[in-house]
Amino acid sequence: MKYDMPLFRPPSEANSLIFQVTIGCSYNKCLFCAMYKGKRFRVRSLEEIERDVSEMAEVYPATERIFLADGDALALDTKYLIQILDLIIDKFPSLERISSYAGPTNLFTKTKEDLKELKARKMDILYLGIETGNDDLLKRIRKGATSSQIVDGCNKIIDAGLRLSTIILLGLGGVDGSFSHAKDSARVVNAINPQFLACLTLMLGPFAKTYEKKIMGGNFKMVDKRQSLQELRWFVEDLDLKDCVFGTQHASNYLPINGNLSEDKDHILELIDMALKGEGSALLRPEWARGL
Ligand code: SF4
């Protein structure tokens, strides 16, 4: 099997077998995201997918986890996706779960019943970047959905019995938008109560000028370490979640922590406060190690 590179997957899918059912991202317009900008979106044919699945079933017959790439397998028509899932289930008898990314725009067209059909075929976790709950920011970054559309789509996933892993992108609103980004994001996440929640921190690299001037209108100032920790504090203090696995271990973050919300909320806030006071510097990731 050959992959059409680059290939992305969530860190928690490190041990999963990956099949590309689409190439690229069907939406591909989010202005902060460069993942699939070099790829033209296409749906892979059943013959191509069948060839990969049969080949890998010979090599790894005991596979338990499969991730469907690229950017958004849910862009596929439900009937076609069901054909693919049936094919996979048939070839991997030990399979426990299938997962994929999900974009909010493709959830517009999926009904709860569609998602239940996927769940019945071992689709188990969908990974969705909320990025922010702030509507002005969502519009600026061209996420393609409002905060209430994102809440509706995510609730559809959970109501269908699938597990949902979400991402909030710290620093997206810069220094001026930091407070409203944190507070609106907490409001939206509370309205969803996902099973998994991760924070990443915006790192723009060569896109910094474009983001600062064209997208944010010239007055954009990137958050520094302290502001990023403050934003995380503002966000976490408002979270009111049940049984949500929370983590900031991604390499872009300054403070890698994890825990269960709400159980570990007080402890998580204590750690953030320590970092804000300049205590426990051993907890913090040095600037040079971010993104590695
Ligand atoms: S939907 Fe996801 S993969 Fe596609 S452009 Fe937006 S962030 Fe990137």
123-173, pLDDT tens digit by residue? 999 999 999 999 999 999 999 999 999 999 999 999 999 999 999 999 999
Please state, for a pLDDT cut of 70, what percent of the chain lies above it: 98
Q: Is the CB of 36 under 6 A from ligand 1?
A: yes
Model pLDDT, residue 272? 96
56-69, pLDDT tens digit by residue? 999 999 999 999 99
Model pLDDT, residue 288? 79
Q: Is the CB of 24 under 6 A from ligand 1?
A: no
Pairing of strands 97-101, 163-170: unpaired
CA of 81 relative to ligand 1 center, distance in Å: 19
Q: Yes or no: say if 53 and 85 are a contact pair by the CB < 8 Å rule.
A: no
Q: Yes or no: say if 71 and 28 are a contact pair by the CB < 8 Å rule.
A: yes
Token pair in block for residue 218 = 């010239």
Model pLDDT, residue 200? 95
- Measured by CA distance, the residue closest to atom 1 of ligand 1 is 103
- Measured by CA distance, the residue closest to atom 5 of ligand 1 is 28
Model pLDDT, residue 292? 59
95-107, pLDDT tens digit by residue? 999 999 999 999 9
Say what the pTM is: 0.95
> How far is residue 240's CA from residue 262's CA, in Å, rounded to a whole number?
7
Using the predicted structure, report yes or no on whether residue 280 has a pLDDT greater than 90.
no
190-245, pLDDT tens digit by residue? 999 999 999 999 987 767 777 777 777 777 888 999 999 999 999 999 999 999 99
DSSP state of 44: P
Q: What is the mean pLDDT of residues 18-26?
A: 97
Q: What is the mean pLDDT of residues 286-291?
A: 79
Tell which atom from ligand 1 comes closest to the C-alpha of 35.
Answer: 8
Q: Is the CB of 71 under 6 A from ligand 1?
A: yes
CA of 230 relative to ligand 1 center, distance in Å: 27
Domains in the chain with CATH codes? 12-280 (3.80.30.20)
> How far is residue 246's CA from residue 268's CA, in Å, rounded to a whole number?
10
Q: Is the CB of 236 under 6 A from ligand 1?
A: no
> How far is residue 228's CA from residue 179's CA, in Å, rounded to a whole number?
10
